[in-house]
Structure 1
Amino acid sequence: MTSSTDAGTTGTHASPHGTTPHVTDADASPPRLTRLTFHGPLSEARADRIVRRAAEPLLRASGGTVLDLGSGWGEVLLRVLEAAPGSTGVGVDLNGADLERGRASARARGLGGRVAFVEESATDTARGPADVVLCLGSAHALCPADAPPPYTADALRALRRLVAPGGRVVLGESFWQRPPTDTELAAMWPEASPDELLHLGDLTDAAVAAGFRPLWVETASAAEWEEFEAGYLADTEEWLASHPGHPEAAALRERADRHRATFLRGYRQVLGLAYLTLVPVATD
């Protein structure tokens, strides 16, 4: 799970996960996100349920297509393909390293001939319609860079265009669990605003207005968030403990400390991530 940023990101539009800290010496760099299965707050149990629901139209048709927008390494995409053996898929992202990880994972699982990972923008994509469309933490990738937030309504309209009749959309999108305080906003990503995101009811209403019925609405738990945030920094923290005198350690340490503070002092238990499984309404 990732966006066209570095993953899976949390789905925020100025995501704190947009750039993974790294050093310039490849031989000394910390491993990159090896503790994460999904690039977002998603447990194995929830992923299994989401995949099972997403695969339903593919199983009914004994095949079909899956489009993952802002796919990153496409773990959910690959699991949907495994659940529906006759299906094929495409993952679209701008992060070449994540795409290569997805290709390697597909080859290892015997899916290399059924999926392509493509380095391109999801904005105004000509791909689709697909039977299943995944957009997990990547709704902003569907909108022009100069579009004002919140992006949700525009992204949902794009997703409605990209899903085939009778298909499924799985949208992972950020929302405010409660109004953030000024102190919390100041600790978040640059220019964080209370108007940047919707609340959960408004997010679901926006999906209905865009031409969907919400088959399933669920939200990431506090435990899923903490597992994700710890895993996101774990490789970096272990590397810093072993390389305190490395020339790049100071900059890397500053970025890791800033990210941790952004979560613990800013968006922890304020920022939510909803997983909406959506069915397009038939047109007359």
Structure 2
Amino acid sequence: MSLDFGLPPRLGQLAFHGPLSDARARRLVGRVSAAGPRTVLDIGCGWGELLLRVLDVSPGATGVGVDIAGDDLARGRAIAEERGLGERVVFVEESARGTTRDPADLVLCLGSSQALSAAAPPLATVEALRALRGLVTSGGRVVLGEGFWQRAPTEGELAGMWPGARADEYLSLGDLVDAAIDAGFRPLWVETASEEEWEEFESGYRSGVEEWLAAHPDHPSAAETRAKVDAQRSTWLRGYRNVLGLAYLTLIPVG
């Protein structure tokens, strides 16, 4: 959305829809592009920033981004055209659950494992890993961005999170990597978002709306918007801050 329409902006301050810094993204892109992918599939792509960065350094490679958020997909198409990548990428508005798309040399799934499974977490993570195993070519790569508990949350922290938050909702990092191995992968690289990356993401997630609220305190939608953004911030500061982690696993299929 745009301030031109008198409404709060959405995620305009973010390059990635997750705690991923430019520095980590550059390293990750360099690592996976070194394998020479010709096809790239991004599950739950949003506006596909990482997908586009991979294509930018992988001459001749083509990509498909799949998501159900039409506004994000439109943003991705516009960015692709600006970067001269419009002929090499397609953004498709569809569900990834049970997808029949052909396996790709590189599959990205950043914070979107729920797009591949209807199960409740953490079983959804396990089922998503199995689905990803079937979506990658032999010798290809999968990059999974997935939440994990850095430590067991307290009852007070769970109460401060999203409604219905559970202590068994996420795996530990060790169990997450084991689940990837059980699904038929070997972990080439295991890394986790830093506290600084989380702070950049969480603040950037709300920054545009906060600026809008400061400039439009009497707008008809200000009270509702203010309550929503205050609740979002509270779940982070009083709930999952330094408890919920985000792992970036670079995986290679076995066999």
TM range (shorter): over 0.9
SS at match of 2:109: strand
**In 1, Cα distance between equivalents of 2:66 and 2:24:** 23
Structure 1 segment 112-123 matched on structure 2, within 5 A:
112-123=86-97
* Aligned AA (2:194): S
- Compute the TM-score of the two structures, normalised by the length of structure 1: 0.87
Aligned to 1:52: 30
Aligned to 2:235: 262
Aligned to 1:127: 101
**Structure 1 stretches lacking a partner, 5+ long:** 1-21
Q: Please tell me whether the aligned partners of residues 67 and 128 of structure 1 are also in contact (alpha carbons under 8 angstroms).
A: no
Q: 1:271 aligns with which of 239, 244, 251?
A: 244
**In 1, Cα distance between equivalents of 2:210 and 2:191:** 31
Q: 2:154 aligns with which of 164, 177, 181?
A: 181
**In 1, Cα distance between equivalents of 2:52 and 2:189:** 21
Matched, 1:38 2:16: yes
**Alpha-carbon displacement from aligned partner over 1:149-172 (angstroms, at most 9, x marks no partner):** 211110000000000001000000
Structure 1 segment 69-108 matched on structure 2, within 5 A:
69-108=43-82
1:55 offset after TM fit, Å?
1.2
Tell me how large the CA RMSD over aligned residues is: 1.3
Q: Please tell me whether the aligned partners of residues 176 and 200 of structure 1 are also in contact (alpha carbons under 8 angstroms).
A: yes
The aligned length equals 254
SS at match of 2:134: helix
Matched, 1:216 2:189: yes
SS at match of 2:133: helix
1:127 offset after TM fit, Å?
1.0
Matched, 1:163 2:141: no
- Compute the TM-score of the two structures, normalised by the length of structure 2: 0.97
Matched, 1:149 2:127: no
Structure 1 segment 3-22 matched on structure 2, within 5 A:
none
